[in-house]
Amino acid sequence: MENLEKTGTTEIKKKEKQPFTNKPTGAFISASWSALFIGMVSFCVGLWNANMYLNEKGYYFTVLLFGLFSVVSVQKSVRDKLEGIPVTEIYYGISWFVTIVSILLLVIGLWNADLDLSEKGYYGMSFTLSLFAAVAVQKNTRDIKWSETLEK
């Protein structure tokens, strides 16, 4: 929306701050969901075929889920703060803390694992792809919801 302000004989247009209204493209939405699916499935297929104890597989699977949830939480709290939506500092801090902890848990687990370096890289990259894609999917979901709200 624009406000007009008259000063003497001229009109000055003042723009009000508008919320972000760009709806993501179908291609970006598809790429984000595909990357999330590929990263998660790759990680899980690697676990399924790994020659490790079931409790080790459970550890890595739990770290994956923990990481996915934590990055979505970080993305939401960062975005909320940028848009002026109240976010408590404790939630904001915990979101970042658990994201860092999930990454550290994977790094420590892989560092101490009796795996080939190529396997460690495989898990690290599929984990990283999954976390990045989760952030992109959350962003798209939020942008779509905002654009639907503004269209009403």
The pLDDT value given to residue 1: 45
Q: Tell me: the pLDDT tens digits for 6-54?
A: 555 555 555 555 555 678 899 999 999 999 999 999 999 999 999 999 9
pLDDT for position 5: 54
**SS3 at position 69:** helix
pLDDT of residue 9: 58
* Residue 116, domain member (yes or no): yes
- Identity (one letter) of the amino acid at 7? T
Residue 35 forms part of a structural domain: no
Q: Give the CA diameter of the chain.
A: 80
Q: Name the residue with higher pLDDT: 2 or 139.
A: 139
Q: 69 versus 16: which is more confidently predicted?
A: 69
**Domains: count for the chain:** 1
Angle at which helix 117-151 crosses helix 54-82, to 10 degrees, equals 40
Q: Which residue has the tokens 């080790």?
A: 56
Asked if the structure places residue 30 within a domain, the reply is: no
Residue 122 lies in a domain: yes
CA-CA distances (angstroms) from residue 124 to 1, 40, 97, 117?
47, 12, 19, 10
Range of the domain at 90: 53-152
Dump pLDDT digits (tens) for 77-134. Answer: 999 998 888 999 999 999 999 999 999 999 999 999 999 999 999 999 999 999 999 9
Question: Does 81 fall in a domain?
Answer: yes
